[in-house]
Structure 1
């Protein structure tokens, strides 16, 4: 499997595109600038299968309808944030000078943790709330990768001052879910550069003293 990150929109949120030997791809968090996502998919000759959302904040969902209109693929979101997609007061866009963001409901609702299989892709879904109530992380065990959304960053953690955020809950999610993964697991965060679990265990100042 291969992957590529695209930093998109006014806050440079990471959209990830994962693809296999059959050129089938999964799109994670199409936050803005749908034309850039479309151009990359076209350049590589990829066949989109689905869109996964780590959470439903505006900077991770802004190009969702654009991509669905082109490729007619389903979007997956956690049940706790299903109503956020078309509610600017919940998805945060009402709180920032970016214009109100509202997109159509997701076709697929993730009810709980467990394996999620989409054709040749299998993800382990981890509930990692704290940044937002329905934040989830996607683990690709065979690839030793976790897509952490805005839970864990290189040297930092997600903000918890938006609707439904909880600093205590976020720290518990990181320690009980993410830091229990293999130490050499590659972390693909919602913003910024990739990191590893061991690097964050050893050097992330926000995780000391939990």
Structure 2
């Protein structure tokens, strides 16, 4: 699996363009903003965009979705339906975070635990990981041992749970049961900051060891 990373929005959110090496078919994961930069990256690498994937409904992860869906003529897929209230509230989110005005939208398809999204020869396994938001999902690609986790897990940290319907205990349970059950060598691609591995976080993450909460 080829992964191209482009930080977008003032929050430096890691938008990922993922592609199947064999077919060249690609998807955009969490296009939070700066649509023109994402379009330029796709054209530079001559990729064929098949759909847009969303891990959760926060504006810095979804802000350019509608524009890019129209640009490439593709569907928006995800997150889990429990995040509908976040997408319905995008105008409020824009005002709250100081973004330009933003209309609400809904995906063409919600995702559930156990779903598999095919991208060329890639099989993206969907795992529902609530806590940061109630409808947060992650995408695990077993052939490359890579998991795109949005804002669930970071290098040395975990997602915030002080937003509406956030739940710290739920987040830790999701990490322990949906992420820490993966092989230690699994590469973790987070929504902010640098990449890490499952093994590193199991050994070192202070929020999961109990040192910080």
Q: Cα offset for 1:39?
A: 0.1
In the alignment, structure 1 segments of 5+ residues that lack a partner are none
The residue matched to 1:110 in structure 2 has which SS?
Answer: coil
- Report whether the alignment pairs 1:13 with 2:37: no
CA contact (8 A) 1:83 1:105 kept: no
CA contact (8 A) 1:129 1:170 kept: yes
When the two structures are superposed, what TM-score results if normalisation uses the length of structure 2? 0.92
2: distance between equivalents of 1:44 and 1:127? 31
When the two structures are superposed, what TM-score results if normalisation uses the length of structure 1? 0.93
Does the C-alpha gap of structure 1 residues 189 and 71 become closer, same or farther in structure 2, counting only changes over 3 Å? Answer: same
How big is the alpha-carbon RMSD for the aligned residues of Structure 1 and Structure 2? 1.6
Q: Cα offset for 1:118?
A: 3.9
> Counterpart of 1:44?
45
CA contact (8 A) 1:82 1:109 kept: no
Deviations 1:131-186 (A, max 9, x none): 00000110000110000110000111000111111111111111111111000000
Map residues 54-69 of structure 1 onto 2, 5 A cutoff: 54-69=55-70
* Farther off after superposition, 97-106 or 1-10: 97-106
> Counterpart of 2:89?
87
CA contact (8 A) 2:25 2:119 kept: no
* Farther off after superposition, 13-22 or 46-55: 13-22
> Counterpart of 1:126?
127
> Counterpart of 1:115?
116
Map residues 1-210 of structure 1 onto 2, 5 A cutoff: 1-20=1-20, 21-77=22-78, 78-88=80-90, 92-209=93-210
